[in-house]
Chains A and B, each alone.
Chain A
Amino acid sequence: MKKLLKRVFFVEILKALKLVFAHYFVKEVTLQYPHEKNIFPDTHRGALCLLKYESGEERCVGCDLCEAACPSNCITVVSAVEEKDHVVRRFATDFDIDITKCVFCGFCVEACPVNALGMTKMYEFSTPNKRDLIFDKTKLYDVGEKWYGQAKGYLVAHNQEGEDEIVSEYRYRFPSSRKPENVVETDG
């Protein structure tokens, strides 16, 4: 009897219509990409970049720990001695990240003792040329400059760095050795 009534009054169809019309009043979820873009949290692991100190000095010391930490072997670092104004320091002459191999795990950022690496919210890598996906040092620094705020935000969100550049307990700055001429001067 109940079954018959349901059939006569099209209850199921009405239920379906109710669901459909209810959606007119629900906030929409779909983003109209590329006209609209998603907003990510600070911890989002997007494109990798290299950062500089506020003085413009490169943070990277070419320690190669990122290469050691990388699970997909996509990082290559070549380091050398840099001598500037009698200060001898280690720096990276080449720093390549093969984005085609990168799995965006963020291990390299975690491994970096000087917080030279950061992750941005940039995720648009499409290119007609695959070679463009091997990010070299210049490109990485460009990304870092362009999205400095995001990379900084990532490091802060991961508690690797403080808001303030001066906060030193998050980061290690290596003593740079000085050339003997200067040593003599300071001694004297």
Chain B
Amino acid sequence: MSSVGKQSAAPDAVKKLVEITINGEVVTAEENSSLFNAVKLTGVELPAMCYHYSFSPFGSCGLCLVEVEGKKNNVRACTAKVLEGMVVSTGTDKMVEARKGAVEKHLKTHPLDCPVCDKDGQCELQDMAYDLEVYDIAEGKRKQIPEDTRSTVLDFNMERCILCGQCINVCKEVQLVDALCFYKKDKQKHVGAHGGEELYCEFCGDCLAVCPVGAIVSKFSKFTFKPWQLKKTETTCSFCSDGCSITLETTQKDIQVVTSELSYTSKFGFDVEPGDGHGGICVRGRFGFDYVMSNERLSQPITKINGKFEPVSWFNALMEIGKRLKSIKEVHGGKSIAALVSGRCTNESVYLFQRLMRSVLETNNIDTAARYGHMNSVLAMQEALKIGKGTVTHQELALSDAILIIGSNLTETNPITALRPKASMTEFGGKLMVADTSKTNMLNLATLPLQIGLNSESLFIQGLIKSVIEQEFVDSEFLENYPEAYDALKNAVALISESLITEQTGLEWEKITETAEALAHSKRGVLLWGEGIISKPGAYDNVLLLIDLALLTGLIRKEGAGLFPICEENNEQGAVDMGGVPEFLPGQIPFSSEEDRKRFSSTWHTTLPEPSADALGLTLPEIIEAAHRGEIHALYVVGENPLASLPAEMKVREALEKIDLIICQDPFLTETGEMADYVLPASVFAENEGSYTNVAGAVNRVSEAFDPRGEARPDWKIFTDLSKHLGHPIQYRSVEEIYQEIVKMVPGYFRGNKPIAQADNYLNKRFIENISDRYAVHSETSQSDPPTTLSLEQVLYHSGKLTTRDKQLMEIDSKTALKISEADAEALGGLVTGDPVNIKSDLGQLEVAVEVSENLPKGLVQFPLHFNDPPLKDLLKVEIDPLSKVIYFKKGSVTLERPANLDLKVIETKSETTEDSEPEAVKDEEAS
């Protein structure tokens, strides 16, 4: 047992140990650490309600009392510091009586409405009263505070509150949000948002989880359950790529509440290693469970007859699909069949699906959602390091001493991963550097915030590399082993002028050198990048630049240091690892390797499609292009929705119309599903068995909480059944058998074996060959009036399109407003939040409400990518990466215009909705 309790120093800092006596036993403890921890290490469990290992002690419950020799009063162990020669006794009668008194004090003001309290049965105050045998309570006194039900998510019942402060501390010290505080109203202490306002925060719900009593309750599950009614299933969250382990608490077929380790594991932190995280989850995981029980879910297979969907039995549906696929394969060949698989399917499903496609239907046209960005990271890292995933675990990220986050709004996209850099900064004394174009939450928190100019990411990274070389911070092993690469790099960066970098990025050169120095001198430095890098043209090269920087500063070589690419969906990494892309067989083995193809084909008892000279198989953009040409005759879509995801410029609808047979397998009837010939109802994560691979490459188990709704079936069952109708039965009796096959075919995958980076080949060859391209200075012609950049961004409260079907999350956030900077709002004649604005590009024009944000730079506007109403994505131009084939469609230039009649409207009435004024707007435009 190493460390428990809140840290405040680097993990390798030297600590002074002293000897103290606890209950007659001499123990060594760290000086000035909490006495509570020292007592705990002797195996004595002190009762406590307000203590939690992941934040600093507060000392309000008065239960962890101990006697310290030489002190008259009882001492609260949690807030007391360990001092040399302390003599402590914990279990004396006097202490037991004092603790009893403390519980009685709490119970006197407690309403004792346990039967209608949601915490009943897992209430710490109840437990303490039973444990300490407090049965007779002297005349109690109610606080008479009405319940605060103003917030959308949480209800605050101050009658029940014991003022332990845990909710406030977890918010302030772990989440670094600081949304809650104590405030006084009517001479009574309340907990709530600052100033007693209505609470509007990230709604991570950690306060709900740590509340020992029922003072904070969730609106979405208020009064609907008692803990003894619920079945608990430990599984993995299905939203972002963090892969948090969550507990689904279910009755027959309904999820009642979602909890995490924070609610259950010992708050005393036994078996917790430094950097393990506090076990909390975010708003999506905690409150986004309603879609599982949605009435919109498909309950049986449907098929399109004369343009109308009719229900059909599973057997008939699969038989028909099998027949038609077989005939298409015979007539047009396997190459005319394409498949898309979602990054939300389990590893086992993806494995089985690609096996079905490759071995039975003999096509390699299979692609996944990683093609929207993450493939850049995977392919670039594969090329340079022969590893196609992050090289740092979550724990290592927290223990890192220098983290550079670039182009990632981590708190919005991956809120739980974001806690690790926060912990690294606040708990372990690490340096957090954040480079972003807008003032993201992380940037505001960072020790070194680096707000860079629009589209200057590559120059910024080049600047870092230049600085590392110029200041001679280069890793000695790199210098020794790859002198040629070093020389080439040195020559390349010498061509980039300092002034260009500082001008474009808008940073002082000192800041860049400071960042470079911090990375180069770090023991466990981590480079983290996300959306802002991978979904912008030039992403592949930018990732290579980041790898260059990591190689140069020795981050790849050092233990605990490395790269952390962020991907969007929960199993995007796993879908790539399981061969859901044309480039790779399972285990990221190149499909081009004949030897490996043979290995797989002998296991699968078939032949695999031969890759043609120019392409291994079609990727997502190529599938759509081929469909336009009429070369695709069948498309099997599993959980994907290209029609809603891709912008109008791709002409996905036209492409899909040309395909003879579309099979869509999804829990919901999606836009793509509406165009399909067969729609097969699939199960959702709560009904699935399998595993997800998270952003750090760790594999987490997914367990089944209840049977699928209606006639829905798990993916693997549909694939095995279909294979029978295709005349090549793939026989698995359970997910376990698929798992066993993956274990055999991809050794070490589930054990989380860390592959070793092999950069020799790259550094000696491709690195030098391509250096002039990578370090070419993109001298951007400075326009007098640069266009505004529209960026489709992920929002904290949503994940992909899936959560827009979740009533609860939509209740929390369904804002479809265009975020614009203050400067832009000013330039448009002083727009305020709620005003409409015309947004224009070559492809069209739309009106959308604006939200003025102080965090954006001039020239950048953002819109949540989850919503298609208004369809701003259709205004954006599409670019396809020549190397990684990634589709760039999330960022593009637009122009903003003030609607002509805006002033009139504001003067008339403020409450008038934009819809009402739309006809007027059109008229005015016509007139002008």
A interface vs B, CB < 8 Å?
61-65, 67-68, 77-81, 88-90, 113-114, 172, 174-175, 177-180, 183
Residues of B within 8 A of A180 (CB): 146, 148-150
- Asked if B159 is at the interface of the complex by the 8 Å CB criterion, the answer is yes
Cα of A179 to Cα of B146 in the assembled complex, Å: 9
**Residue contact B223 to A177, C-beta cutoff 8 Å:** no
| Also in contact, A61 and B116, with CB within 8 A (given A88-B147, A180-B150) | yes
Closest A-chain residue to B146, C-beta based? Answer: A183
**Residue contact B115 to A175, C-beta cutoff 8 Å:** no
Total interface residues in chain B, CB < 8 Å? 23
Scan residues 83-98 of chain B and give those whose CB is less than 8 A from a CB of chain A. Answer: none
| Also in contact, A63 and B150, with CB within 8 A (given A79-B225, A80-B223) | no
Task: Write the nearest CB–CB distance from A76 to chain B, whole angstroms.
Answer: 9
Scan residues 101-116 of chain B and give those whose CB is less than 8 A from a CB of chain A. Answer: 111-113, 115-116
Closest B-chain residue to A114, C-beta based? Answer: B115
Among A64, A79, A113, A177, which residue has its beta carbon within 8 angstroms of that of B147?
A: A177
Scan residues 133-149 of chain B and give those whose CB is less than 8 A from a CB of chain A. Answer: 142, 146-149
**Residue contact A179 to B116, C-beta cutoff 8 Å:** no
Closest A-chain residue to B118, C-beta based? Answer: A90
- Asked if B120 is at the interface of the complex by the 8 Å CB criterion, the answer is yes
Cα of A45 to Cα of B29 in the assembled complex, Å: 62
Summarize A's interface: helix, strand, loop or mixed: mixed
- Asked if B130 is at the interface of the complex by the 8 Å CB criterion, the answer is no
Q: What are 17 of the A-B contact pairs (CB < 8 Å)? A: A63-B115, A63-B120, A64-B229, A77-B229, A78-B224, A80-B224, A81-B223, A89-B116, A113-B115, A114-B115, A174-B115, A174-B116, A175-B111, A175-B142, A177-B147, A179-B149, A180-B148
Scan residues 674-716 of chain B and give those whose CB is less than 8 A from a CB of chain A. Answer: none
Cα of A89 to Cα of B147 in the assembled complex, Å: 12
Residues of B within 8 A of A80 (CB): 223-224
Residues of B within 8 A of A65 (CB): 115
Cα of A67 to Cα of B146 in the assembled complex, Å: 29
- Asked if B226 is at the interface of the complex by the 8 Å CB criterion, the answer is yes
**Residue contact B113 to A175, C-beta cutoff 8 Å:** yes
Task: Write the nearest CB–CB distance from A59 to chain B, whole angstroms.
Answer: 12
Cα of A139 to Cα of B228 in the assembled complex, Å: 26
Residues of A within 8 A of B223 (CB): 62, 79-81, 90
Q: Can you add 12 more A-B contacts, CB < 8 Å, to A67-B228, A80-B224, A81-B224?
A: A63-B116, A64-B229, A68-B121, A68-B226, A81-B223, A88-B147, A88-B149, A89-B116, A113-B115, A174-B113, A174-B115, A183-B146
Among A61, A78, A177, A178, which residue has its beta carbon within 8 angstroms of that of B115?
A: A61
Cα of A178 to Cα of B157 in the assembled complex, Å: 11
**Residue contact B146 to A178, C-beta cutoff 8 Å:** yes
B interface vs A, CB < 8 Å?
111-113, 115-116, 120-121, 142, 146-150, 157, 159, 222-226, 228-229, 251
Residues of A within 8 A of B147 (CB): 88, 177-178
Residues of A within 8 A of B116 (CB): 61-63, 89-90, 174
Task: Write the nearest CB–CB distance from B436 to chain A, whole angstroms.
Answer: 38
Task: Write the nearest CB–CB distance from A121 to chain B, whole angstroms.
Answer: 27
Cα of A44 to Cα of B228 in the assembled complex, Å: 30
Residues of A within 8 A of B142 (CB): 175
10 pairs of A and B residues whose beta carbons are closest in the complex: A63-B115, A177-B147, A90-B223, A64-B226, A90-B116, A113-B115, A183-B146, A81-B223, A174-B113, A174-B116
Residues of A within 8 A of B229 (CB): 64, 67, 77
Cα of A183 to Cα of B146 in the assembled complex, Å: 7
Cα of A177 to Cα of B120 in the assembled complex, Å: 17
Cα of A175 to Cα of B159 in the assembled complex, Å: 10
Residues of B within 8 A of A89 (CB): 116
**Residue contact A177 to B146, C-beta cutoff 8 Å:** yes
Task: Write the nearest CB–CB distance from A68 to chain B, whole angstroms.
Answer: 5
Closest B-chain residue to A82, C-beta based? Answer: B223
Task: Write the nearest CB–CB distance from A161 to chain B, whole angstroms.
Answer: 16
Task: Write the nearest CB–CB distance from B125 to chain A, whole angstroms.
Answer: 17
Closest A-chain residue to B251, C-beta based? Answer: A78
Cα of A6 to Cα of B905 in the assembled complex, Å: 125
**Residue contact B228 to A68, C-beta cutoff 8 Å:** yes
Residues of B within 8 A of A81 (CB): 222-224
Task: Write the nearest CB–CB distance from A157 to chain B, whole angstroms.
Answer: 23
Cα of A32 to Cα of B228 in the assembled complex, Å: 47
The residue among B115, B121, B142 with the most chain A CB atoms within 10 A of its own CB is B115
Among B148, B150, B224, which residue has its beta carbon within 8 angstroms of that of A79?
A: B224
Cα of A161 to Cα of B115 in the assembled complex, Å: 18
Cα of A108 to Cα of B224 in the assembled complex, Å: 20
Residues of A within 8 A of B228 (CB): 64, 67-68
Closest B-chain residue to A68, C-beta based? Answer: B228
Closest B-chain residue to A184, C-beta based? Answer: B146
Residues of A within 8 A of B150 (CB): 180
Cα of A89 to Cα of B159 in the assembled complex, Å: 15
Closest A-chain residue to B229, C-beta based? Answer: A64
Task: Write the nearest CB–CB distance from A129 to chain B, whole angstroms.
Answer: 24
Residues of A within 8 A of B225 (CB): 79
Cα of A177 to Cα of B219 in the assembled complex, Å: 13
Cα of A168 to Cα of B924 in the assembled complex, Å: 70
Cα of A179 to Cα of B219 in the assembled complex, Å: 13
Cα of A50 to Cα of B223 in the assembled complex, Å: 20
**Residue contact A177 to B149, C-beta cutoff 8 Å:** yes
Task: Write the nearest CB–CB distance from A20 to chain B, whole angstroms.
Answer: 60
**Residue contact A63 to B146, C-beta cutoff 8 Å:** no
Closest A-chain residue to B121, C-beta based? Answer: A68
Cα of A62 to Cα of B115 in the assembled complex, Å: 8
The residue among B116, B149, B225, B228 with the most chain A CB atoms within 10 A of its own CB is B116
Residues of B within 8 A of A183 (CB): 146
Residues of B within 8 A of A68 (CB): 121, 226, 228
